[in-house]
Structure formats: C-alpha cells, structure tokens
Amino acid sequence: MSKTLPAVDVAIIGGGWTGSVIGKELAAAKQRVVVLERGEPRWPSPDFQAPTVHDELKYVRRHALHQNTATETFTFRNNPQQKALPMRRWQFAYPATHLGGAGSHWSGAYYRFDPTDFKIRSHYNNRYGAKIFDEDLTAQDWPLSYDELEPYFDRFDYLIGASGYAGNLKGQLQPGGNPFEPWRSRPYPNPPMKVPYAPALFGEAAAKLGYHPYVQPSALVTRPYINSEGLPMSACVYCGFCSNFGCEHFAKASPQVCVLPVAMKLPDFELRTGTHVLRVELTPDGKHARGVTYVDAAGEEVFQPANIVVLSAFSINNVRLLLLSKIGKPFDPATNTGVVGRNYTHQTTSGVNLFFEESFNINPFMGAGAVAVTMDDFSADNFDHGPHGFVGGGYLQIQVVSGAPISYHPTPRGTPGWGSEWKQAVRRYYNHSASITITGSAMPTRNSYLSLDPTYKDAWGQPLLRITYDLPDNDIRMSAFLTERGDQIGKAMRGVTLTEPGPRKRPFTATSYQSTHLTGGAAIGADPATSVVNRAGQCWDVPNVFVTGAALFPQNSGYNPTGTVGATAYWIAERILKDYLAAPGKLVQT
C-alpha cells in the first residue's frame, strides 16, 4: 500500500537537461512542479571540486556518475532470434544517474541536427530516388522542421553559453566559419575553444586536401559569461578531466550550472532526489495519467498525483517507463505493428589511430570534452551520396578529450599487451599519438528495437529494458566510406608515421564503448501508426503524458544529440504552456 501525496500540476521524471529546463519554464508560469530525480544531489561545489575530482579510477573506471548496473541495466542481443543477456557492467555506453544526469558528465560537444535530418526520407527520396534506402531501413521524417526549431536552438545556445564561430548567420555564410552549418539567427554567445596541437595538425591536412575544417562548437564556455537565466559561468581551463566528470569550474554547461539554481528559487518548483519512479499510473481506461508511483530513498512506495506527467529520464529509460506504464502499443517486429520501442538506434562511430614521430609532442592530457577541429564535408547530405549508395553521413575530427592513462595508453597494433616490450612502446607512443574520431548517423531497421526483457529484472523487481540491435548494411557502408576518408587525412598530416583505420564492423558489440547516444524508441511523428508522440511531444494515446529527449529521434543524426534535445525541450515546454494548458486534450487530431 503506497502513501499518497498532495497533488501537483506537473510531475517530471528525471533531473537532467530536459526535466530541468521544462520544470523551470512551467514553474515560472505558476505550475506546481515536482522534479523526481532517482539519484543524489550533486553540485559543482562541493562535489566536483579539484583536486579530488581529477580521479580517473573513480569517475571513469568505477562509474561514479553512471547508472549503477547492479541495480538497473539493459539486456542485449543482436537480433530477435537470440536470447538477450544482461550487460552486467557498462562498456558500450555510460547512461547516468544523479542530479544533472548525463548532462553533468557529458563532453559538451555541441551541434544542431542538420535540416535534412528532420526530413530524411523525403529529402533523400527527392534528391536520389527512393532506391537510395535499403529495404530494411525504417527511417522517417520528423513532424517538425529545422526552421521551426531554430528559435529553440537559439534559446538553448544562450542558456548553455555555447562557444563557437558562426558559419551561417541568417543564410549569410561567414568567412572562416563552417560553410555547412545550418543557418542560425544569432552568433554563438562565446568565441570558440582554443585549438590543441593534434586538432591543428588535422585542420592543416584537411584544408590542404580541400576540405573545410573548423573549430567544433562546444558547451564549455570560453570566457566569463552570464547566461540567459542570469547565472554565472567561468572559462574552461582545459584540465582534461571532462567526459565522465563533473566540472569544477562552472565552465561545462549542466543543469546544475545553467538552470536549476534559478528553478529552485521559484515557489512552485520542487526538486525531490532519491525518488526512483516505477511507473506512470493511468485511469482504468488507460487514456489518462493520474500521476506517478516512485520508491523513495528509504524504500517506501509513494504515489504522487499530477495533472501532467513529463518523461525526462535518460533517453531510452523513457521508453522503458512507457512500456512499464502500458502507454502506447509496444512494437512487435514479427508483425511490424506497435510503436513503443520502434526505431531504436545508437551512433555509428569509428576512428583512425595515428602515431607520430617522437619530435611531435601531442600532450593528450591538455584537453576538454569538446575541444576539436572538425569537418562536415561528409556529414548529412553535404556531399553527393549517389555514387556511394548509402543514407546519412558523419563528421571527422580530432578532439582531445583526455590523456588519463588507465583508459588512454595507445600502442600500435601488434604490440604485446604486457611485459618490457609493451612498456617500451607505451612510453614511446603516449605523447606521440592521436586519433581521428568519426561520428556517424545511425539508421533504424525493423529488427532493431527496445522491449521489456522477459527474464531479467531490476532491484525493484521490474523487467529490464531489452535492446535488440545490429548495424544495418547502410551504416556499415557509410562507416567504411568515412573511415577511408579519415585515413587519407591522417596520412596527409605532418608528423604521422602510421595510421590504423578502424571502420565499424558487424556484429554490433556491447563490449566496447561507442557513445552514450542511445536514441529512439519513442519516435516523434505525424502518424500514430509509426510514432509514439505527436509534434508537441505528447503521447498519442495518453494526452497528459509528454516525452522528451533523444528517445524522440526517429533515427540518429551524425551530430551529437544534446543541442537538439535542448531545443526540443524548450519547444515542448512551450507547447504545454501555450497549447495544452489552454485546452487540455489532444493537441494533434487524428
């Protein structure tokens, strides 16, 4: 028997980027909001202060800010014929827990999706004909365009203090900027990051080959900045402890730095940590949410009634909550019916390892999560796909994220993994290596989807989320193409003596880190037969439940998700405020 609390207007599940942004917007409009965060409160001061935060063992190897696999993980299989088994420890991605979520331990690579990402099916059909899509691909258009979302991208830019140099201001290309950048209404609020050695060498070689390298935009501010909420941020100091770490300097944008301090001063906003939500409770007809049931830090079940429920947990954990709450019809690949869990994808990453002459001191420890020189010549539809026969693309870059040596001590292939010969090689190459990172789009297929696992359960006795995923031929061809281009650039770089291209191969494996960009499963769309939510982020079947974050992506772009996650959060907040509260009910008629 659970305890029932007084009702609120809005219950938000998850204290990461989308929950914090939407919570603040709604509470500022006098909605009584409670944000339910399963983790503990974590703040830049005192939790992330130096020197103790500069601890690779704790934050990278022991997963201090990652979801604890002991209590909740995913199961995985490559196809529906296999039996899924649990990921007993994290390797392939680092979903988060604790306040701020993955928005606290992220790298800060900051992009907007390309305009063609939002109309992928129709755009490629128009330019190349429908045959460009392999039959197994289920890629589909968004019900929103880039132009519609631009004002919301802009808002998020100024919330997080984005750093970069505009390549396209209101349609006017800017000299020195990324010529492939989608148009933007305002410049970045802060200038670009400094450029370390290896990215500079990459940019030099890429330019020589006729490409268009630029300094990657970043969510780490480059000078003292007061953000759009009036909150102060400080300049990044390139300490090299960024991805997987909280930022000690108020330099890396996070919900804690950029929005929560303002939200928490609002009388109608409450942050409740240590609350693990089990499910959304529906009325008996299944058409209306009554609130949410969670387990508090002491283990007691609590029912929190609410007029509106917003799912803002880590991307695909939102899909799990939908399935556990019986909201929307689960996708079934056998019959190709249902929608929840459909169009799950990851990110098709690959790389080229580079080894340099000993006179090139790379200093890999001088870096940050998002300090890079990038090129978009093979991103999105910036090149002619006709001769290559695949959909999508990716960016190539050298970024200097971390030189922390438990994880980073590269040696050329063929070097023994231990003993004196290894020792010699690791000493020779540690400061004379880099790698070209390739971040590619991921196309969905009928047999890659999310569902509840029939066998394995979490610490609260609920089924784990089951990931069924393998890379489609389309993405394998794309990865081979992009990685070959990367290898050509690597070979053209000054000082490079050896390149090791590593295109993504099948089968997809859960045993190596690829990215934490787990997307889809609650696709946003115009058709209830192929999407979970309408263009307002509202569930087709339960109109007082909204879904946010990367679970909405019908397929994954080659660009990192957080910019688009932030923009859609502002968009959905506005749809709730302006549209839903004015006339509660279905915002899109079917």
Residues 438-477 close enough to bind another protein by CB under 8 A: 455-457
Site for another protein in 244-263 (CB under 8 A): 248-249
Among 46, 51, 171, 284, binds another protein (CB under 8 A): 51
Between 226 and 237, name the residue whose CB sits nearer to another protein. Answer: 237
- Tell me, residue by residue from 552 to 571, as one string, x for binding to another protein by CB under 8 A and - for no binding: --------------------
Tell me the closest approach of the beta carbon of residue 54 to another protein, in angstroms.
4
Identify the residue whose tokens are 């997987």.
244
Nearer to another protein, 322 or 368 (CB): 368
Q: Phi first, then psi: what are they for 45, rounded to 5°? A: -125, 125
Contact 306, 292 (CB under 8 A): yes
Angstrom distance (rounded) from CA 392 to CA 394: 7
Distance, in Å, from the CA atom of 189 to the CA atom of 394, rounded to the nearest integer, reads: 25
Contact in structure between 474 and 392 (CB atoms under 8 Å): yes
Q: Which of residues 355-384 bind another protein (CB under 8 A)?
A: 359-361, 363, 365-367, 371
Segment near another protein (CB under 8 A); pick from 105-113, 238-246, 548-556, 571-579: 238-246
Residue 6 or 51 having the CB closest to another protein = 51
Residues 6+ apart with CB under 8 A from 303: 2, 3, 4, 5, 281, 291, 292, 293
Angle (CA) 145-180-495 rounded to 5° is 140
Q: Which of 165, 238, 303, 383 binds another protein (CB under 8 A)?
A: 238
Q: Does 505 bind another protein (CB under 8 A)?
A: no
Provide the minimum distance between the beta carbon of 467 and another protein in the complex, in angstroms, as a whole number: 11
Is 185 a residue that touches another protein (CB under 8 A)?
Answer: no
Binding test (CB under 8 A) with another protein, winner from 45, 81, 335, 511: 511
Residue with smaller CB distance to another protein, 334 or 406: 406
Q: Are 480 and 473 in contact (CB under 8 A)?
A: no
Among the candidate windows 128-136, 382-390, 506-514, 545-553, which touches another protein by CB under 8 A?
506-514
Binding flag, residue 76, another protein (CB under 8 A): yes
**Amino acid at site 87:** M
Show contacts with another protein in window 320-359 (CB under 8 A).
359
* Among 151, 286, 405, 454, contact with another protein (rule: CB under 8 A): 405
- 575-577-578-584 Cα dihedral, nearest 10 degrees: 90
Provide φ and ψ at 426, rounded to 5°: -70, -35
Which is nearer to another protein, 205 or 523 (by Cβ)?
205
Peptide bond connecting 199 to the previous residue in cis, omega within 30 degrees of 0: no
Catalytic residue among 98, 276, 346, 517: 517
Rg (CA), the chain: 23
Q: Is 388 in the site for another protein (CB under 8 A)?
A: no
CA nearest neighbour of 366 among 410, 407, 399, 396: 399
**Which residue, 239 or 323, has its beta carbon nearer to another protein?**
239
SS (H, E, C) 299-364: CCEEEEEEEEEEECCCHHHHHHHHHHHCCCCECECCCCECCECCCCECCEEEEEEEEECCCCCCCC
Contacting range for another protein; rule: CB under 8 A; set: 15-23, 418-426, 439-447, 514-522: 418-426
Considering the rule CB under 8 A, would residue 43 count as an interface residue with another protein?
A: no
By the rule CB under 8 A, 57 interacts with another protein: yes
Residues 205, 183: Cα–Cα separation, whole Å: 27
Q: By CB under 8 A, tell whether 165 contacts another protein.
A: no
* Catalytic site includes residue 517: yes
Shortest distance, position 369 Cβ to another protein, whole Å: 14
334: left (phi over 0), alpha (psi -120 to 50) or beta: alpha
Among candidate residues 185, 71, 115, 33, the one with its CA nearest the CA of residue 577: 33
Among 509, 529, 578, 585, interactor with another protein by CB under 8 A: 509
- Report residue 183 as tokens: 């148009």
Interface with another protein (CB under 8 A), residue from 507, 513, 529, 585: 507
Select the span of 152-160, 259-267, 472-480, 507-515 touching another protein (CB under 8 A).
507-515
Considering only residues 85 to 104 of the shown chain, the ones binding another protein according to CB under 8 A are 85-91
237 near another protein (CB under 8 A): yes
Instruction: Give me the active site residues, please.
Output: 517
